Amino acid sequence: MKLTNKEMEIMAILWSNKEPMTTTEIIDSSENRTWKEGSIFGIMKTLVEKGAVVQDKNKPTGTTHARTYKTEISSEEYAVLWLEKLERELGQFCKPGIRLDLNAVIEGVNKMRKER
């Protein structure tokens, strides 16, 4: 599963909030408050299709009810999926029979950052 930057922004908001959220609550919690309801609905639909979020219960909002959404995958689970995908992609550059040690790559990157 690959998430776009906008999808990741929404997922970060949902991951940081323990309770399911309405699209209005997501917009209010976002640094990108220029989003319109329609664009959020489209992104939420895509996130549901990707299996990243699910619709939860309806929540009373004044005189109506609004759908709420909650994550179906944790940030840790997404990170593992992302790292596994990265490992597969980077592994294409290794000689046959050589397995890429992703932990060694991460340690090397962290070491280079510290040396800067």
- pLDDT at 92 (0 to 100): 67
Report the SS3 class of residue 72: coil
Same domain for 64 and 80, yes or no, is: no
pLDDT band of residue 93 (cuts 50, 70, 90) is low
- pLDDT at 96 (0 to 100): 62
The number of folded domains in the chain is 2
Same domain for 61 and 105, yes or no, is: no
Structure tokens at 46: 């895509």
Same domain for 50 and 88, yes or no, is: no
- pLDDT at 113 (0 to 100): 66
Same domain for 34 and 89, yes or no, is: no
| R_g over Cα of the chain | 18
Q: How far apart are CA 46 and CA 16, in angstroms?
A: 20
Q: How far apart are CA 63 and CA 74, in angstroms?
A: 33
- pLDDT at 63 (0 to 100): 75
CA 3 to chain centre: 6
Query: 21 is in which domain, residue-wise?
Result: 5-71
- Write the CATH number for 29: 1.10.10.10
Answer for the pair 77, 11: CB distance below 8 angstroms, yes or no.
Answer: no
Q: pLDDT digits over 36-63, tens only?
A: 777 888 899 999 999 999 888 877 777 7
Same domain for 63 and 17, yes or no, is: yes
